[in-house]
Homo-oligomer: A and B are copies of this chain.
Amino acid sequence: MSLLAIGSVAFDDVETPFGRRERALGGSATYFSLSASRFHPVRIVAVVGEDFGPDQMRVFEGRPIDLTGLSRVPGRSFHWQGAYGYDLNEARTLATHLNVFADFRPDLPAGYRTSPYLFLGNIDPVLQLEVVRQMAERPKWIALDTMNYWIRGARPALEKVLREVDILLVNDAEVRELTQEHSLLKAYRRIQAMGPGVLVVKRGEYGVALFTPEGHFAAPAYPLEDVFDPTGAGDTFAGGFLGYLAWIDRKDVTALKHATLVGSVMASFTVEQFSTERLEQITQDEVRNRLALFSDMIRVEDL
């Protein structure tokens, strides 16, 4: 019983108004697995280069994260360089060096092909589809993240893979570009027609909107004194959200609402420090306490 995740494992150079880090651990599969593995065992499919060494591997150790599918190949790892302005809502990408990621073709280890839960991180939809086709049996659910680059540049492949998907996780601009609808209610109906029954719209500091066949929901972001570095917040959210769903093995509206709170709380830790620094350190008690405070904060007595 594992949650299979495909995505990037990378080095990030990040600059925010509060400081900078060079060659810090990053990548969607990194944040996702560190977050999801708090709730359910995770299997990663990704690729790194020869520059990815024991210091980086150590971060995954002692956690229920299966790295059988993490290939190490000649060359350098994926490297992203970005900067944030004072409002922290949008990263300015300074450089993207795909390196070993450029020739990445996922090849699932035999033991991965029967995973009951599948997360297709934000990569080329052609590769996302290849992963789906390599599964020996249909997972209980498939979740997918994507971005404007693929919506614009690879729409036919994206539409093909979306037909296989149950849960779509994107941001406001992405869902609007994908559906050509400004109203999220209307956008959700278009998404349903494309395949996914559940839509999760990530809105950064404004929280998350959730659309399900049983109704919709929205939660604010967990309020913080200081946001240091928003890199990885979306992937950490996805990890908490999907790790929780895998753990409870349900996806009714109550489970999805709870998953939204769990994902938001996990993301709140990530942004408090650079890279995975905070996410690596948190204890189960810290997660539990923040969840209790957050539930209490958004609770409203009947009017």
Question: Which residues on A are within 8 Å of B, measured CB to CB?
Answer: 86-88, 182-186, 203, 206-207, 209, 215-220, 223-227, 254, 257-258, 261-262, 291-292, 295-303
Contacts and interface: CB of A to CB of B under 8 A. Distances in A.
Contacts of A87: 182
A87 B292 CA distance: 35
Contacts of A206: 203, 206-207
With most chain B CB atoms within 10 A of its CB, the pick from A209, A220, A262, A295 is A220
Given A186-B225, A224-B185, A225-B183, A218 B298 contact: yes
Contacts of A225: 183, 185-186
Nearest to A204: B206
Nearest to A291: B303
Name the residue in A88, A291, A299 with the highest tally of chain B Cβ atoms < 10 Å from its Cβ.
A299
Given A206-B203, A220-B209, A295-B302, A183 B226 contact: yes
A220 B218 contact: yes
A300 B257 contact: yes
